[in-house]
Structure formats: structure tokens, C-alpha cells
Structure 1
């Protein structure tokens, strides 16, 4: 059962077994509520039951213009935890779709932070997806950006996808396949313009970018914004808002930061230097390995 409908079911039983709570008043809402929506709100307040909640959800959200049934998120040793989980949490609530974590090879995957992931499948067993998401990471991502067998699989899957997406430095992997050539794209701030130009793409410096069927995001947390935008495209604004409310997604960081232009010069230079130390030697070694 899909996540949103399951939540709705739980809420229905909770309402039947607890004291009524005060609902947000119409005055607290920023939207102008139509007469039709006012009637729908009244029905949702009084008549929402486990028996009719699917019908009520259909009235609220409507139908999708897309037939998305299979979503795959690539995982590999050294992948960034939040690149995977943020996208998985959002896109895992796509109505009517099965979402899988797909590993590059058999066995469990260890993320860049040392968390062990149990994949649902391996790339050799998957030959079709409606949505493919390629997360980023650090050294494991760089290695994947030079993995021709992986690139062949991505290009094969891309032939049938509705959307192909990359989070953070996952754009380096997607770019290395040649699929971003001539496209507008974004990626993690580190060497962003240089890397995308290397793959024939135009860097947009946006939180996320869509160019046709290709979606790319800036670093890590931007993958959630991109995934929510994909959800809005699939199911509309109300459905995306429902997912956001489930997440209570309303970021309010305690200090300014998170992008190069909002970060102090000393901190920026230190972070860039740390990335350089980890990235450049590995890239140099892979550039010098002859193609087998």
C-alpha cells in the first residue's frame, strides 16, 4: 500500500479513538478557498473513513498524466547517505509505483558515512525503469564516473525512462554517460561548472534544473527539492504538499550558509582544499588507467 494512503488510514483510526483536535481555520490558510473546496474540506473533516479514503484522496489529488510504476535509485559503495534517503523518502510516496534501491554489484552497500544499505536489486537484474535516480557521494562517485559498464547500463535504462535524474555529484556519473551533452544541468558546488562543461552540459547554478526528461540537483539536500518537483510534475501541487507536510519539510537553518556565496571565505577555502585532496589524486589515477 502506498505511503500516503497508509498514513491516511492511520489518521482515520486515530481520529475515531481520540478526542477531536482543533482544525486550522480558514483564516489561517494563505489560499482563497473555493466553494467546491469548502465542501470538500467539510466532507474530509466529517466523513473521511477507512472505507472511503481512497475515493477521497482521488478527489483531492486527481489523476496523474504519467504512468510511473517503477522507480530505481542507484546505490554503490561510497554513495552519500542523504542523496539516497532523501530521494527515496520523497519518491517512495509516488502513488502506484514500486521504488527500489539498485546496487552496482551483489551484496550490501556501505555509504560514505559508513551506513550499511541492503539493496533491493542489482543492475544486472533490472532492464527497465520509469524513473532512474543517480545519487552522488565522494570517492565512490568518482570511480563510478569512470565505470563504463555502469554507463552502458544507465544508457540502456535511459532509453525507456520517463525521467532520468541525478543528485549532487551523481551528475558527474550521468554526465560521463554522455546523456547530459547539450543539456542544462546543475550539480554539487565543487568544480561544478568545470565538470559539467567537461561533459558538454551548461551549468545553471540552480537548486535543481530540468531539461526535458533530465533532472539534476545541486548538493545533497537539493535532491529532496528536486524529488518534490518531480512529485509535483507527476501528481500536482496538492500531492507534493501532502508529502511535504508528512515530512514537515520547511527548512529554516540556524545560520546562513550552504552555498559558496553564503559561506565565509576561510570556511570555503578549507572545504575546497579538503575536497581537492580527496578528489584530484583519484581522478588523476583513473585518467591514467587505459581503457580495458
Structure 2
């Protein structure tokens, strides 16, 4: 590899309460294997941050106030993305740091946090299937049935498990296909899901509707947060 491909990189992963751990862990595992790449966990302050449901706690390695220049920003999703969409300190950090980054990215509903910050307006993007239609409210073109969407300097991954696909796609952009293939093999990334139907396009329609019904309170909260966030964005 030449000097350009191994130039130092700094990747910042945002931490906030109740995010889905796998949204972060998948791409983190890939990017920490890149040559000469420093990965940081960024939070509001130097205190532990608990992931959603599983009780797993992560410790930030940088804060909004103490963080080096970044080449890459990544926002994971999870139930906590709703509060994150109204967290002005977090949104302000994203807005300030995005212009310096080569890529501004997200996994799952992290895309809605970027959208609430005004950082996906005019871009094509994806997110978890339950939230895909929400993107349009923020001036984003939703892309269905794609695990990873690359639109200029914005890269978004769909729901949860797509974080590894997202990470490998990003690795190829940053360090080349050969490095990405090597990491893919190191991770033995050859999915053989024991059950089909991991996406609404291939799942039993009755199961899709059952999941939507179970998520009704969550979906209602999404509508309320989206309305407030889009209004704030429109008013500047």
C-alpha cells in the first residue's frame, strides 16, 4: 500500500445512553483492524454509558470538549436515538465536527440523529426498516432494500447487523478493497442465517405486522420526536 492509503485516520463513534451495542460493535471491530486508524468513543462527559437492554457499559475515550480532529464520524442507533435527536449538545457537536470529516456516517437509526442535526438533508440514505419512511421528513431520500448506501461523503447502514457490511464498505473506501477483503476473512464474515426473513421483503407479512404492532408505542414516540426535531431544523 502507498503512503496515501496508510495515512493516519481518526474515527469517532458517538456514545449515548440506550444505543444498540451491535450498531457500534460491528463497524468498530472492522475499523479497529485498519492500518494506522485510531478509533475513539465520544460522549458528552467522561462517564460510563450503558447500552440498551443488555446492561453492557462502555467508557468514552474522548468528550465533546476534548476530542482531536476527526476523519470520520459514526452515529449508531438504538432506542436512545430518540433522546439523542433532541440532545442539543450532541447535535451541536455533530454539526461542528462534520465539516472536517472525510465521511459522516451512521448505522441503523443513527441516521435519524444525523437527520435531526441537518446533516443528511439532500442526501440518499438508509436506516432500520421500521424507521426508513421517517427520513423523508428531514429532506432525505430513503433507499429501501440496501444494506449500505453511499452518497458522496455520507455513508449509512441499515438495521443493526448491517453494521459489519457498513464497516467493510467503509474500510474499502479508506484503505482499499484488498484490506477490506483481508478483514472480512479475519472476521470469517460469511453469514449463513439459520432463519430467512430477516427483512420485510423476505419475511412472512403476518410476522412483519406483528412486529409493527408490538412496536406501536415506540413508533408513536418516533412521530412525536420527529415532529419536534423537524420543526426545530426548519426554524434554524
TM-score, with structure 1 as normaliser:
0.73
- Name the structure 1 match of 2:69: 128
CA separation of 1:142 and 1:202: change in aligned 2, threshold 3 A: same
Matched, 1:215 2:159: no
Partners of 1:288 and 1:174 lie apart in 2 by 15
Matched, 1:170 2:110: yes
- Name the structure 2 match of 1:118: 59
Partners of 2:131 and 2:36 lie apart in 1 by 38
Partners of 1:91 and 1:167 lie apart in 2 by 14
- Name the structure 1 match of 2:138: 199
Q: Is the 8 A contact 1:216 1:226 kept in 2?
A: yes
Shift of 1:106: 3.3
Q: Is the 8 A contact 2:6 2:36 kept in 1?
A: no
Matched, 1:86 2:26: yes
Q: Which has the larger radius of gyration?
A: 1
Shift of 1:152: 1.2
Shift of 1:158: 0.5
Shift of 1:209: 0.5
Q: Is the 8 A contact 2:34 2:179 kept in 1?
A: no
In structure 2, runs of 5+ residues without a counterpart are: none
Shift of 1:118: 1.5
- Name the structure 1 match of 2:174: 234
* Runs of 4+ more than 6 Å apart: 288-291
Q: What are the superposed Cα offsets for residues 160-213 of structure 1, whole Å, 9 maximum, x if unpaired?
A: 0011100000000001111111111111101312x1101101011111111111
TM-score, with structure 2 as normaliser:
0.90
Shift of 1:66: 7.2
Q: Is the 8 A contact 1:74 1:104 kept in 2?
A: no
Partners of 2:210 and 2:137 lie apart in 1 by 25
Which of 77, 81, 86 is the equivalent residue of 1:146? 86
Shift of 1:79: 0.6
In structure 1, runs of 5+ residues without a counterpart are: 1-60
SS at match of 1:152: helix
Matched, 1:246 2:191: no
Which structure is richer in relative contact order (CA contacts within 8 A, separation 6 or more)? Answer: 2
CA separation of 1:69 and 1:281: change in aligned 2, threshold 3 A: closer
Partners of 2:115 and 2:161 lie apart in 1 by 20
Q: What are the superposed Cα offsets for residues 33-69 of structure 1, whole Å, 9 maximum, x if unpaired?
A: xxxxxxxxxxxxxxxxxxxxxxxxxxxx455447442
Q: Is the 8 A contact 1:74 1:101 kept in 2?
A: yes
Q: Which has the higher helix share?
A: 1
Shift of 1:279: 3.7
Shift of 1:245: 1.1
Matched, 1:268 2:208: yes
Q: What are the superposed Cα offsets for residues 226-260 of structure 1, whole Å, 9 maximum, x if unpaired?
A: 11011011111111111111110001111211111
CA-atom RMSD in angstroms: 2.1
